[in-house]
Chain A
Amino acid sequence: MLTVLFFGRFREELDCARLEIELDASCADLNSLQQKLVSENGSRWRDVLGQDNVIRALNQEVATGNQGLADGDEVAFFPPVTGG
């Protein structure tokens, strides 16, 4: 099982904070997971997750590039941060 989290503007626009997804070949890495979320959930998801400023974190570390996923991983999608 994968835990998928959304934060900030993405959480609000997708009306979704958290998903649990069965890990299989269709979401074996970050790119395919993102593609699966877009293709299975419609145009709003494509608009949000198709932006070029999407930040992806794997197990609470920002992921640069594509990375393979394992059972129990926590993936997060969020926009550029604005704290401080």
Chain B
Amino acid sequence: MSATVRVRVQEGDFDVASLQRSLLQGDAAEGAIATFTGYVRNSNNDRPVLALELEHYPGMTERSITSIARDACARWPLLAVGVVHRVGKLKPANQIVWVGVSAKHREAAFAACEFIMDYLKTRAPFWKKETGPDGSHWVDARQSDNERAGRW
């Protein structure tokens, strides 16, 4: 049985409770749901962040996330995967990304959730531009993110 995969890229905010419920398929097969919610921090590299703008590659971004989710489904016995990523103008404390995974058992749910997040950060075409007190600049990719994704 193949897992249900739902991917959304959107400007608007999202509700984590309804997203979590959307992972349940109604047949009580799920024993575990693991989720991750990412937020816009108020600082980066010890510099204040006042605003963040997220650019993406319409079409490729959705395909890329779907491909990462399918890779996770091939590695772990999952029932459903959901990913929501926001784009456009965001402020500190805003929700930016949500990943949710349901499975029969927690081991697969925890691992797949972390795998999807690690790959999303290094493979999915999004670019962050930060605004601080001294103006705006594009955020550089982090080597530590590549190392995390390389563990899998």
Chain A contacts to B: CB under 8 angstroms:
5, 7-9, 11-12, 57, 60-62, 76, 78-84
B24-32, B72-80, B117-125 - the one binding chain A: B117-125
Residues of B within 8 A of A80 (CB): 140-141
Q: What is the number of residues of chain B that contact chain A, defined by CB distance less than 8 Å?
A: 29
Residues of B within 8 A of A11 (CB): 55
Question: Do A60 and B120 have beta carbons less than 8 Å apart?
Answer: no
Q: List 8 A-B contacts (CB under 8 A).
A: A11-B55, A60-B57, A60-B59, A60-B64, A61-B60, A81-B141, A82-B139, A84-B120
Question: Do B60 and A60 have beta carbons less than 8 Å apart?
Answer: yes
Knowing A9-B127, A78-B125, the reply to whether A83 touches B56 (Cβ < 8 A) is yes
Report if B54 contacts A (CB, 8 A): yes
Distance between Cα atoms of A68 and B136 in the complex (Å): 37
Question: Do A82 and B57 have beta carbons less than 8 Å apart?
Answer: no
Chain B contacts to A: CB under 8 angstroms:
38, 54-57, 59-60, 63-64, 85, 96-97, 117, 120-129, 138-142, 145
Question: Do A57 and B124 have beta carbons less than 8 Å apart?
Answer: no
- Other A-B contacts than A8-B138, A82-B128, 10 sampled, CB-CB below 8 A, are A7-B56, A81-B121, A81-B125, A82-B127, A82-B140, A83-B54, A83-B85, A84-B38, A84-B85, A84-B124
Question: Do A76 and B60 have beta carbons less than 8 Å apart?
Answer: yes
Question: Do B123 and A7 have beta carbons less than 8 Å apart?
Answer: no
Question: Do B56 and A76 have beta carbons less than 8 Å apart?
Answer: no
Residues of B within 8 A of A12 (CB): 138
A81 CB, nearest partner CB in chain B, Å: 5
B142 CB, nearest partner CB in chain A, Å: 8
A55 CB, nearest partner CB in chain B, Å: 8
B59 closest partner in A (C-beta):
A60
Question: Do A82 and B117 have beta carbons less than 8 Å apart?
Answer: no
Distance between Cα atoms of A8 and B57 in the complex (Å): 9
Distance between Cα atoms of A61 and B57 in the complex (Å): 11
